[in-house]
Amino acid sequence: AQTVTQSQPEMSVQEAETVTLSCTYDTSESDYYLFWYKQPPSRQMILVIRQEAYKQQNATENRFSVNFQKAAKSFSLKISDSQLGDAAMYFCAYRSGDYKLSFGAGTTVTVRA
Amino acid sequence: EAGVTQSPTHLIKTRGQQATLRCSPISGHTSVYWYQQALGLGLQFLLWYDEGEERNRGNFPPRFSGRQFPNYSSELNVNALELEDSALYLCASSLRLAGADTQYFGPGTRLTVL
């Protein structure tokens, strides 16, 4: 079974600054997918970014980018130019070959105005 | 394009009763997934349906069951409700196509068991 670990329960960032959320995972598979989802207080889980394990290039999506280190099994999310609307719980997720997502415990991001 | 929809938004039941939760996937998506988000337990995979068949099941007792209809909508049934079944139940849908199988989530159904 895959294990996803998010070691930071909470992170706080000043508006317009940058914050990095860490995620590590444990797997014996060579082909898999990694995701970051955000869940604001409204509860809707929203896709932030996706990374295919076979791609060496780190995924970026506007102000969101990842640092994918396959050998280290690390998948961190960087939020640049943080905005008040970025405040949410962020979940790192691993998708295995059986299509199920395994989630980390989540990191609550607070944005200070 | 409409996203994943779930109904009802909230559901209150008493212990021992049955609960039925519904999910409509994004148009064109054939796969539906169910997850449980319980306080203190995080997000856990429950079930995966594709093309009307159950494809994978998480570590949950048999009283958690469901089905997928010909229009790809899905129902999750929880029988003999227990207090610890109180949780947010999230449904997600995807295409079953390599490279295009990202799961998109609905707003969830909050189940409270009294």
Distance CA B92, CA B103 (A): 6
**pLDDT tens across B58-82, in order?**
999 999 999 999 999 999 999 999 9
Identify from A2, A99, A103 which residue to disrupt to test chain B contact, counting B C-beta atoms within 10 A and taking the largest count.
Answer: A99
**pLDDT tens across A34-81, in order?**
999 999 987 889 999 999 998 889 999 999 999 999 999 999 999 999
Beta carbons of B102 and A46 less than 8 Å apart:
no
* A91 closest CA partner among A42, A51, A53, A34: A34
Q: Tell me the average pLDDT of chain A.
A: 94
Q: What is the pLDDT of residue B1?
A: 67
How many helices and strands, by DSSP H and E, does chain B display?
0, 11
A42–B contact, CB cutoff 8 A: yes
Q: What is the pLDDT of residue A30?
A: 84
Q: How confident is the model at residue A92 (pLDDT cuts 50, 70, 90)?
A: very high
B108–A contact, CB cutoff 8 A: yes
Q: Torsions phi, psi of A9, nearest 5?
A: -65, -35
Residue A89, min C-alpha distance to chain B (Å) = 12
- Residue with the two structure tokens 């600054």: A17
Q: How confident is the model at residue B100 (pLDDT cuts 50, 70, 90)?
A: low
Distance CA A94, CA A53 (A): 10
Q: Which residues of B touch A104 (CB under 8 A)?
A: 42
Average confidence (pLDDT) over A69-96: 95
Distance CA A93, CA A56 (A): 18
Within the 68-107 window of chain A, which residues sit less than 8 Å (CB to CB) from chain B? 91, 95, 98-106
**pLDDT tens across B3-57, in order?**
999 999 999 999 999 999 999 999 999 999 999 999 888 899 999 999 999 999 9
- Asked whether the bond before B8 is cis by omega within 30 degrees of 0, the reply is yes
Which regions of A1-113 does DSSP assign to beta strands (E)? 3-5, 10-14, 19-21, 24-26, 33-39, 46-52, 60-61, 64-69, 74-79, 88-95, 101-103, 107-112
Q: How confident is the model at residue B97 (pLDDT cuts 50, 70, 90)?
A: confident
Q: How confident is the model at residue A31 (pLDDT cuts 50, 70, 90)?
A: confident
Asked if B90 and B106 count as a contact pair (C-beta separation under 8 A), the reply is yes
Q: How confident is the model at residue A1 (pLDDT cuts 50, 70, 90)?
A: low
Whole-number CA gyration radius for chain A:
13
Beta bridge partners of A20: A78
- Residue with the two structure tokens 């130019």: A81
